[in-house]
Structure 1
Amino acid sequence: MSPLAANLVAVLGAASLAVAQTPNAPGTQNRYPFTKQYDQGFLDGYSVLKHIGGQGPYSNRVSYGISRDPPDGCAVDQVIMLKRHGERWPDPNPAAKFQVSLNKIYGTNQTAFTGALEFLNRWKYFVPEGRYVRLESYNGPYAGLLDGYIHGAEYGVRYGHLWDQTAANLTIPMFSSGYERILTTARKFGEGFFGWNYTDVVAMNVIPEEVYMGANSLTPTCLHDKDTPMCDLLGKSNLHPQFKVAAARLNGQNEKLALNSSDIYNLMQMSAYELNVRGYSDWVNVFTLDEWVAFGYTQDLSYYYCNGPGYVNGRTVGSVFANASLTLLNQGPEKSGKLFFNFCHDTNITPVLAAFGIASPPEPLPIDHIPFPNPYSSSDIVPMGGHLTMERLTCNATAITKPGTYVRLILNEAVVPYTGCQDGPGYSCSLARFTEMVSHSLPDFISTCGFDHTYPQYLDFWWNYNTTRDYNRETQDPIPAGEGLLTYKGTAA
């Protein structure tokens, strides 16, 4: 060390000691020297949760740094939420593929696995044969039932002021699409939000996932969908070269092992579901960062081109929810209500985001390489338990904004500034401007998707809902209608 540097260190050391020994001002807390109030690191982080698409546990969206709390001078007076079900076991089709790849591994009859697969000498498959497929997970830190309850409890603190716990004969509707795990999530969310009042206050409405519902649905779809060339093209092309590298590496570590790219994809997908069920997966560490990035991009391509902004009818399908939301926001809480909690699938949320024009990249996703940074990360958009929340804000005047009604969109707890409209407090958008921008950009669902006048023409259940509490909890009325769908007495299957 040079004499100059040594003197500098001595001076700084003496100064810090003096600071440490100086009594704090009255009423202040003692602080350690060199303790920073704000971290300066801001280093890039890595988490596998950001590279498993919609397969695994929930994580908040990467934030723009805007406070999640209402802007100063503003109060939330209406909330519209669209939430995906929580973490779950796999569906039957991928579960069968997991078993195929595992059978290939165990079929080598090795006495002991080595290398990255050494843990298989102790590991057991986590899906009991013939049980739990499609259902919410109930154990572990990422349990789907826990996700729903905690989310409801957190929103109870945030939006509990929007319902009167002392009111007599109060009924607040909640809306779930007709799938078992969706309804389970809705119930758990309701229990968390309303607490002991859940059974007496909520009227759970189950909206069938059927084409005959037309536009009066949380899961609208087109009668004809012939214009999906990019989605159809993806197919097996989403198996990136990184999977071949992974297969070669594992095959080289264990005699007789003959995994291929499809096996690697299956095992990576399986590890995401093991996180959902067990909360921990040894399989995650079998694969490299590059391989996980490649896996995540396969998910991004699928959402983007099959159900998102790259799907030709994506915005059309999403327009059903978007148009109805505009009506609610403009009618306001006094006329239409304050709380609208809705539950559906991931592939019903991505079209809504496309319709609102958020989380949509300016250019189509490339299929010949993985872009960096990735402009459409499905792990940030529709993880298990993912949700879009719309807040209607009543705001006072500020130095730069007028008093009035504004709108904020929050995706997975990150405030998303609306492109082209940030004229309100906290980067919110005035309701009038928001309505104009969204309504003028939406295609017509009925004509575009091939429905005629015999089908429901618009979303109506938010205004004409059932007030029964029969479906707030499990009853004998729900009848499995195949593939996890539910129907109810008096409702066509």
Structure 2
Amino acid sequence: MLAGSVLSVIAIAATAVNAANLGNPIFQQGQFSQQVYDGYNLLKHFGGNGPYTDGVGHGIDRNPPAQCEVDQVILIHRHGERWPDPSVAEGMIAAYKKILNTNLTLTGSLGFLNSWESFLDTPSLWAEETYSGPYAGLLNGFRRGVDYRARYGHLWNGESIPIFSSGYERIIETARRFGLGFFGYNYTDSAYLNIIPETADQGANSLTPVCYTESSTTTYGLSNFTQFASAASRLNAENKGLNLNASDVYNLMLLAPFELNGRPFSPWTDVFTLDEWVAFGYYNDLGYYYGGGGPGINTSAAIGAVYANATLTLLNQGPSVGKLFFNFCHDTNITPILTALGLFVPDKPMPVNYIKHDSIYKSTNFVPMGGHLVLERLSCNATSEHEAGTYVRTVVNEVVIPREDCQDGPGFSCPLANYTQTLNETLPDFRTACQVPEDYPQYLSFFWDFNQTNALNFQKGPIPYQLGATTWNDQPLGS
């Protein structure tokens, strides 16, 4: 009887195990989620207008390979989240007032406007970085500095190092907040904030170089995509008398990302369907590809070659000339660099009459607010798979982006020698291609010849209204 009882218990236990293996709910949840929501996150469809998001990864560890150590870092960073520029704000306000001027008691998707408070009532803040909400631009810069102190702090020994900012107030403020985050209490004495004017006579010695030759153009418009007109028809049907058009819809959609830049929540996100947001994101991608320093413009690679060539020299000179180079600029100064480096360049031009959903050129993956590009120089020991040596790794928005033409190093990095050869063979000559005037600087030199002063580390006086650039002495042009 005892033996039979034991066998019965074993049989019952085995039955329970078998049942569980067949999906019985008593078993634990699987190790990995089978749901991935990137494509449903509206932040991924805001183009360069909305809060920062990390890029879409490829399964490559963000940390350096075990046998390698980062010995030099070169960062270029867009300003943090901000309010819209005046020209953009005016279009948004015009579309919003078009609704208000009907004096309708709104229902349906726009019903929230009966009590909504606009964030565009203070023109003096337009174009400035936001300072409130979870996506605040000033917080973005500070947080990145804190994160990079944890990641790259081993490269800083307490010596004073330069930070380079292009001459626009929101760029300068991001650089300052980054410095505070990275250096902490030592920021006052350990950083040399250098402000590089955004003026044409800087030539190649600039974070914002320009071409003096004519750029190619490609024509397209909102009418190429039916989603904008369809949204207008839907909203007009909900509230008779609105008479919105596709252009109004686009301007109203802009309210969502810019409101989120300074507030925790925007009801505008719920006004439009996911299909409409996908079209909005793609339309913004086209704006970068064909008009914002992307590979669809004939001059982009030449402009980006300025920074690509200068950083190539730094990488070959190595940490003896500097271990940390922190640079800050606009989104359309980063996109030409990506083009020059051959990153996010589609095999074929982006179509302008339909949405290419699998395009690799998605601006939210490389230039959202606070978007950034990092070049890491790796010093690696030998393993059974790789030789000891120096390698280069590219990181965009915290995602390692391997080069298609060179990824045989540790962690899919590229040997510095191969990286150098590739860029020497592919980078155009900025001076020739862009016809730089002979009396303008012909090379980027501030990495090696920078001001060793901390006089500009903090804001001097009230923040100026941003209608123009800022000079080296932190004063608006013409002041």
TM-score of the aligned structures, taking structure 2 as reference length:
0.92
Residue matched to 2:184: 195
Deviation at 1:36, TM superposition (A): 3.1
Residue matched to 1:85: 79
Structure 2 Cα separation of the partners of residues 41 and 185 of structure 1: 35
Match of 2:65 among 63, 67, 71: 71
Indicate yes or no: 2:117 matched with 1:124.
yes
Which secondary structure state, in structure 1, belongs to the residue aligned with residue 382 of structure 2? coil
Structure 1 Cα separation of the partners of residues 207 and 145 of structure 2: 20
1:371-405 deviation line (CA, Å, top 9, x unaligned): 12122111111000000001000001111110000
Contact 2:222 2:247 in 1 (8 A): no
Residue matched to 1:145: 138
Paired letter, 2:71: D
Task: State how 1:67-466 maps to structure 2 within 5 Å.
Answer: 67-110=61-104, 112-165=105-158, 170-225=159-214, 227-230=215-218, 233-234=219-220, 236-237=221-222, 240-306=225-291, 307-334=293-320, 336-466=321-451
Paired letter, 1:191: L
Q: How many residues align?
A: 461
Deviation at 1:38, TM superposition (A): 2.9
Q: 1:454 to 1:153 in 2, by over 3 A?
A: same
Structure 1 Cα separation of the partners of residues 301 and 422 of structure 2: 14
Paired letter, 1:485: A
Q: 1:378 to 1:238 in 2, by over 3 A?
A: farther
Structure 2 Cα separation of the partners of residues 15 and 181 of structure 1: 61
Which secondary structure state, in structure 1, belongs to the residue aligned with residue 261 of structure 2? helix
Structure 2 Cα separation of the partners of residues 58 and 16 of structure 1: 47
Structure 2 Cα separation of the partners of residues 142 and 347 of structure 1: 21
Q: 1:468 to 1:301 in 2, by over 3 A?
A: same
Paired letter, 2:16: A
Structure 1 unaligned regions, length at least 5: 1-9, 20-31
Structure 2 Cα separation of the partners of residues 353 and 12 of structure 1: 59
Deviation at 1:255, TM superposition (A): 2.3
Which secondary structure state, in structure 1, belongs to the residue aligned with residue 134 of structure 2? coil
Which secondary structure state, in structure 2, belongs to the residue aligned with residue 229 of structure 1? coil
Paired letter, 1:329: L
Task: Supply the RMSD in Å over aligned alpha carbons.
Answer: 2.1
Deviation at 1:11, TM superposition (A): 7.3
Structure 2 Cα separation of the partners of residues 239 and 147 of structure 1: 35
Q: 1:297 to 1:461 in 2, by over 3 A?
A: same
Residue matched to 1:34: 28
Which secondary structure state, in structure 1, belongs to the residue aligned with residue 262 of structure 2? helix
Contact 1:361 1:376 in 2 (8 A): yes
Structure 2 Cα separation of the partners of residues 292 and 39 of structure 1: 26
Q: 1:481 to 1:103 in 2, by over 3 A?
A: closer
Structure 2 Cα separation of the partners of residues 384 and 44 of structure 1: 17
Which secondary structure state, in structure 1, belongs to the residue aligned with residue 426 of structure 2? coil
Which secondary structure state, in structure 2, belongs to the residue aligned with residue 332 of structure 1? helix
Structure 2 unaligned regions, length at least 5: 1-11
Residue matched to 1:4: none
Contact 2:196 2:472 in 1 (8 A): no
Q: 1:121 to 1:398 in 2, by over 3 A?
A: same
Deviation at 1:217, TM superposition (A): 0.2
Which secondary structure state, in structure 1, belongs to the residue aligned with residue 125 of structure 2? coil
Structure 1 Cα separation of the partners of residues 402 and 474 of structure 2: 44
Structure 2 Cα separation of the partners of residues 241 and 330 of structure 1: 50
Structure 2 Cα separation of the partners of residues 387 and 13 of structure 1: 56
Contact 1:176 1:342 in 2 (8 A): yes
Q: 1:158 to 1:66 in 2, by over 3 A?
A: same
Structure 1 Cα separation of the partners of residues 474 and 95 of structure 2: 44
Match of 1:485 among 454, 462, 469: 469
Q: 1:213 to 1:190 in 2, by over 3 A?
A: same
Structure 2 Cα separation of the partners of residues 450 and 489 of structure 1: 29
Which secondary structure state, in structure 2, belongs to the residue aligned with residue 77 of structure 1? strand
1:112-157 deviation line (CA, Å, top 9, x unaligned): 2111111112211112232200100000010000111111100110
Which secondary structure state, in structure 1, belongs to the residue aligned with residue 73 of structure 2? strand
Contact 1:479 1:486 in 2 (8 A): no
Contact 1:182 1:343 in 2 (8 A): yes
Structure 1 Cα separation of the partners of residues 448 and 17 of structure 2: 68
Which secondary structure state, in structure 1, belongs to the residue aligned with residue 124 of structure 2? coil
Paired letter, 1:401: H
Structure 1 Cα separation of the partners of residues 273 and 138 of structure 2: 31
Structure 1 Cα separation of the partners of residues 455 and 286 of structure 2: 40
Which secondary structure state, in structure 1, belongs to the residue aligned with residue 65 of structure 2? coil
Q: 1:248 to 1:15 in 2, by over 3 A?
A: same
Contact 1:239 1:261 in 2 (8 A): no
Structure 1 Cα separation of the partners of residues 154 and 31 of structure 2: 33
TM-score of the aligned structures, taking structure 1 as reference length:
0.90
Percent of residue pairs bearing the same amino acid type:
51
Deviation at 1:450, TM superposition (A): 1.4
1:73-93 deviation line (CA, Å, top 9, x unaligned): 100000000100000000001
Stretch moving more, 71-80 or 271-280: 271-280
Structure 1 Cα separation of the partners of residues 182 and 347 of structure 2: 37
1:187-238 deviation line (CA, Å, top 9, x unaligned): 001111111111110000000000000000000001232x3221xx23x356
